[in-house]
């Protein structure tokens, strides 16, 4: 009998023994504290004893379980290591909620024991097991006790589901969902962190499910019923996930901790980890949302630079020479790639560079320039979870985190994984056209077509500005927040600023400064007719609607004209589903002082 058959038989024996206990009042009694330090219910102990008796019938093995810890089962030299959770979802089982399972994972000990002919003491076996990890497990079986479905997988043989009543094996694979807004996500409920609660509140995904059985939820991801399963607390135990880990791994899933590092837990009941499980397309997005540090080493840098200054391009040359010395791959924005590949312009420093024509293999982007270059980098990234390393070669540099003298220090921090990521909210929007007759004006034919009834705007990292087409002509708006009328505004225009943009145009127009992490937007009138028309800070999850009452307006996103809104049109703005990510450099308040926005610069303790 091979490993997969053993695991299935043990799971089925546990199922038969546990089902009669559902609803029995004594099942819920705490009988001891388990090996992992958590209370053991009577139903857990009975299920584990059934598993031990079953394993003894089929093989000799080293058993790792939350209740018993480490135990040699059977006679002779152990053939396998078995990681067991006899009931994953005990609360559900005790309350007859049909989402609880048996989870088993197995690995061979043959290669670990070599030519050993005689049994050895338990301490020696424990030393051998302690040198193994979850990635040494070759078979995974998770049986949904309530439905009878069996999820199973074997290394390099794919993952399958065996459904009742015919037990036919059907191959399963993770979903191909690419966008967060289309994703269904399972979330671990116990001890929810602030960022998990924010994630639920912000409704960044289509559905959020809380099932209470980690092994089953990983299997749901493996079959594409969920697009991701997340526990960003470091509370996920080895026995909780071992069976589901093998199934999900063999179905093509990506499994890491919340910082994107591969799971490499030792075979030990005390090991715990955070967990992000998803398909490849969504994984970086979830790491970007939940990771406290971007611990992944760079695979390839993208380089974006201003091209109107020779010192900026010379710095690009220094950067690529430095990356070459570190054997790190890179690609350049097409325009600067052409310039640098033309040796004659730069003292015959002949460098042949790769053009950054797509972002598929880019892990980080170096932006060399000022704030405008950073905004361009954010637009080029277009919602991908790629951190920006902003190097200041401009004049102001609110968005730039490093000066040009620190560029190699910044690169080294990223290469060594010793850096923090700051996540920045963006603003998404659209212009909803009012539906004009064909003869209304020369441009109105576009609006007569129902397909052109709205225009989607690119995301704004700084701000969306609604401004007059004609200088010194006052505009007239109505402003609504979450459907509630806020104000009738007569002004030269309106600024809707993100926290990042609060130190840009919004600040010049009299708006407040927001820390980058604040979840809010600022609505700022530009030169309002009414003196009491003041900036308003609204919650970041608000929908802001601006109704144009008179004259045509331009809609400007991060300094680029993106559309025109006419009388009767509505501009709808809300938080984007994606963020921009920055490698953190300057302290925010130090930066404000250095740029003379607040107080005085160069105070004691200031540092870059």
Please give the positions annotated as active site.
Answer: 371
Strands (DSSP E) contained in 417-543 are: 421-432, 454-460, 463-468, 475-481, 484-491, 493-497, 520-526, 536-539
Contacts of residue 324, defined as CB under 8 A and 6 or more positions apart, other chains included, come to none
Contacts of 274 (CB under 8 A, 6+ apart): 231, 232, 233, 234, 235, 236, 257, 258, 259, 290
Are the C-beta atoms of residues 211 and 301 closer than 8 Å to each other? Answer: no
- Cβ-proximal residues to 137 (8 Å cutoff; 6+ apart), any chain: 81, 83, 105, 106, 107, 242, 245, 246
User: Phi and psi (nearest 5°) for 287?
Assistant: -60, -40
Question: Residue 223 in 3-state DSSP?
Answer: coil
How far is the C-alpha of 472 from the C-alpha of 559, rounded, in Å?
Answer: 19
User: Is the distance from CB of 389 to CB of 414 less than 8 angstroms?
Assistant: yes
Nearest Cα to Cα of residue 108 among 129, 123, 87 = 129
Phi, psi (degrees; rounded to nearest 5) at 142: -130, 120
| Phi and psi at residue 540, to the nearest 5° | -65, -15
Return d(Cα 27, Cα 18) in angstroms, integer: 10
Cβ contacts of residue 122 below 8 Å, gap of 6+?
70, 72
Residue whose token pair is 């611990």: 295
> For residue 83, what are the CA distances in angstroms to 59, 104, 240, 241, 244?
14, 6, 9, 9, 11
| Local structure of 52: helix, strand or coil | helix
């Amino acid at each position: 009998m091979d490993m997969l058959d053993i695991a299935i038989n043990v799971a089925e024996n546990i199922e038969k023994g546990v089902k009669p206990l559902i609803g029995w009042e004594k099942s819920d009694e705490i009988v001891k504290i388990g090996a992992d330090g958590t209370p053991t219910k009577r139903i857990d102990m009975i299920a584990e004893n059934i598993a031990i008796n079953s394993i003894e019938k089929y093989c000799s093995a080293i058993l790792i379980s939350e209740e018993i810890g480490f135990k040699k089962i059977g006679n002779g030299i152990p053939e396998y290591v078995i990681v067991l959770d006899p009931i994953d979802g005990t609360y559900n089982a005790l309350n007859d909620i049909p989402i609880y399972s048996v989870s088993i994972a197995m690995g061979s000990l043959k290669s670990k024991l070599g030519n050993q002919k005689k049994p050895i003491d338990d301490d020696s076996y424990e030393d051998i097991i302690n040198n193994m990890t979850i990635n040494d497990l070759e078979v995974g079986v998770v049986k949904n006790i309530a439905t009878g479905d069996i999820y199973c997988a074997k290394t390099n043989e794919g993952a399958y589901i065996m459904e009742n009543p015919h037990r036919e094996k059907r191959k399963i694979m993770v979903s191909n969902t690419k966008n967060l807004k289309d994703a269904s996500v399972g979330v671990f409920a116990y001890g929810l962190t602030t960022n998990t609660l924010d994630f639920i509140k912000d409704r960044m995904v289509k559905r959020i499910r809380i099932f209470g059985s980690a092994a089953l939820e990983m299997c749901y991801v493996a079959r594409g019923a969920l697009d991701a399963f997340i526990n960003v607390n470091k509370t996920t135990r080895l026995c909780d996930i071992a069976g589901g880990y093998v199934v999900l791994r063999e179905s093509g899933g990506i499994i890491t901790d919340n910082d994107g590092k591969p799971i490499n837990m030792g075979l030990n009941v005390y090991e715990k980890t955070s967990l992000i499980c998803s398909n490849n397309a969504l994984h970086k997005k979830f790491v970007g949302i939940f990771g406290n540090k971007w611990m992944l080493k760079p695979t390839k840098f993208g380089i974006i630079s201003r091209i109107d200054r020779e010192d900026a391009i010379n710095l690009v040359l220094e950067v690529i020479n430095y990356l070459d010395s570190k054997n790190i791959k890179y690609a350049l924005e097409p325009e600067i790639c052409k310039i640098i590949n033309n040796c004659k312009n730069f003292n015959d420093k002949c460098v042949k560079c790769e053009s950054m024509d797509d972002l598929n293999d880019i892990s980080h982007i170096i932006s060399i320039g000022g704030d405008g270059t950073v905004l361009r980098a954010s637009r080029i990234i277009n919602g991908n979870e790629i951190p920006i390393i902003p190097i200041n070669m401009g004049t102001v540099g609110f968005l730039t985190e490093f000066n040009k003298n620190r560029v190699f220090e910044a690169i080294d921090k990223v290469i060594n994984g010793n850096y923090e990521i700051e996540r920045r909210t963006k603003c998404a929007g659209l212009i909803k056209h009012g539906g004009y007759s064909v003869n209304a004006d020369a441009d109105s034919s576009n609006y007569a077509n129902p397909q052109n009834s709205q225009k989607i705007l690119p995301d704004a990292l700084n701000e969306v500005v609604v401004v007059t087409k004609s200088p010194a002509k006052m505009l007239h708006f109505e402003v609504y927040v979450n459907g509630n009328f806020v104000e009738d505004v007569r002004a030269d225009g309106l600024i809707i600023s993100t926290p990042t943009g609060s130190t840009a145009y919004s600040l010049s127009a009299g708006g407040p400064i927001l820390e980058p992490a604040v979840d809010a937007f600022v609505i700022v009138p530009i030169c309002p007719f009414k003196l009491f028309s003041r900036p308003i800070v609204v919650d970041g999850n608000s929908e802001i609607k601006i109704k144009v009452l008179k004259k045509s307006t331009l809609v400007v996103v991060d300094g680029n004209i993106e559309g025109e809104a006419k009388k009767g049109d509505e501009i709808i703005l809300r938080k984007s589903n994606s963020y921009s990510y920055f490698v953190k450099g300057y302290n925010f308040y130090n930066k404000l002082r250095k740029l003379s926005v607040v107080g005085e610069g160069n105070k004691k303790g200031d540092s870059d």
